[in-house]
Structure 1
Amino acid sequence: MSHGIWTPENFGWIAVPRNRSNVPSAEEVAGMNNEFYSDPMDAWPVTDVTDKARDYAQQHLSKETYNHSMRVFCYGIYIIQHYFPEYHSKDFFETWALTCLFHDIGTTDENMSNTHMSFEFQGGLLALKKLQEFGAHKIQAESVAEAIIRHQDPGETGTVSAMVQMIQIATEFDNMGLQPHLVGREVIESVTARLPRMGWSGCFSSTILKEIRLKPWCHTTALENFAESVAGNELMRPYE
């Protein structure tokens, strides 16, 4: 598959504020036309790399985690379509799909037990290796790895890549219902009908507690009351 010129920006290597000051506020969103005009899965990039990555994810992730990963893709696509037209490119969408598929690969029982590293770091390294084996360009695989490693690294200072910011926003939305103004309820209903949550709030909160129990030094401990926030996701409660 040819991508033409390999431009780092197309793979998400764009510096954006870590504090998300570039993300529309609730007031700004209220003044926009946010009609749900397309199925997010219509934007799924069908390529050799995404085919291999999707097969790998389906083989290694639990059904609950796989559905979460695909919901994150859908919510992120909706957000990109409506608020970030500068990200509209084949390369960005492919990199986004790969990031979503691999972002929780470190939470599998096998991966969590075979390393002392925090799950995001191990997952990033694994994605870097596997995606290059699948044919992804090094620039692209590195963007995915960076996004996975930093996807639980919100904060007020400095910058992150656009791919990091997108995976932070979309995972926090599905996991905790944060920044609900970015995605309409009809989108949630459509996405969860196709990709059921299957009790995801309880499932992922248990995974968080398991990692902290096994690795009390893990990066997840930096997120205050994380397990409680996931378990208490009021936005998604009707869809559990």
Structure 2
Amino acid sequence: MDYDPLPFPRTDLALSAMRHARDIEPPAIFNHSMRSYLYGRFLGEEQGRRPDVDYDDELLFLGCVLHDAGLGDQGDSEHPFDIDGADHAARFLTDQGIADERVEIVWDAIALHLHPDIALRKRPEIALVSAGSGFDLGPHGGHTLPTGYADRIHAVLPRLHAAAALYDTIVGQALAKPHKAPPFTMPGELLRQHTGQDWPTWRQLMTQPPSWGDYDGYQPRT
């Protein structure tokens, strides 16, 4: 695929990460990851943040292109997919000889991308991964893209039913390994929607054995 019309970083590391993500992810998820960078960069520009001046553009790209690595077969391990993806990205970057402090930024960006309330308070490389990946699934927040911008992106990186593909992949992992989708998490909510199962209440969680007995003899305030 010719990505030349789009402003991706062309460092050796960026190209290696792009090829790795393309090899391990379904096309719909890979395209989503690539678009996440373009939208994250756009949202940064809306805030007056300039690539490689106000943030490290290569780190932003690495966080975006690898943020769903946990949804590929190689990245699918024993944790929720965001943590699996962060761990997989860290191993990949470490194997590439990247300094620990840079690896940690990418790990944080991926691990926090489902938590914008936290990510948006962090450094730009972390905040813009969360913002860009979210924007690609729903262009909310009052931002207006330049005329034809999305069309140019989708011409090179077609959507391929991205939101539906992500849902099916996350739920598929959770059905195979329910511990990857604990209650009150995003994967857990998608699994609950798919199966129709009820989540346990707070009291049920706190009183299932073994417990500390915090509800034994407890009288609620009136």
TM-score, normalised to structure 1, is: 0.67
Cα deviation 1:60-85 (Å, max 9, x = unaligned): 11111111111111111222223232
Task: Note the C-alpha offset of 1:205.
Answer: 1.6
Maintained 8 Å contact 1:124/1:149: yes
1:203 equivalent in structure 2: 165
TM superposition shift of 1:212: 3.4
- Higher RCO, 1 or 2 (CA under 8 Å, sep at least 6)? 1
Unaligned runs of 5+ in 1: 1-38, 229-240
Distance 2:86 2:11 in 1: 21
Equivalent of 1:187, from 149, 164, 168?
Answer: 149
Aligned to 2:53: 89
Q: 77-86 or 146-155, which moves further after superposition?
A: 77-86
**2:202 aligned residue:** none
Q: Give the letter for the 2:56 counterpart.
A: F
> Whose radius of gyration is greater, 1 or 2?
2
Residues 49 and 135, structure 1, Cα contact 8 Å, conserved in 2:
no
Aligned 1:41-120 pairs, distance under 5 A = 41-42=6-7, 44-85=8-49, 88-89=52-53, 92-112=56-76, 115-120=77-82
Work out the percentage of aligned pairs sharing the same amino acid: 22
Matched, 1:154 2:119: no
Choose which of 206, 214, 218 in structure 1 pairs with 2:181.
218
Question: How many angstroms apart in 2 are the aligned matches of 1:140 and 1:184?
Answer: 32
Partner residue in 2 for 1:133: 95
Structure 2: gaps (5+ residues): 192-222
Q: Report the CA distance between 1:162 and its aligned residue.
A: 2.3
> What amino acid is the match of 1:203?
A
Using the size of structure 2 for normalisation, the TM-score is: 0.72
C-alpha contact (below 8 Å) 1:104/1:123 kept by paired residues? yes
Rounded Cα–Cα distance in structure 2 between residues aligned with 1:79 and 1:151 = 15
Paired with 1:48 and 1:86, the residues of 2 have a C-alpha distance of: 21
In 2, are the aligned partners of 1:45 and 1:94 still within 8 Å (CA)?
Answer: yes
CA RMSD of aligned residues (A): 3.0
**Alignment partner, residue 83 of structure 2:** 121
- Residues 1:116 and 1:186: Cα distance change in structure 2 (over 3 Å): same
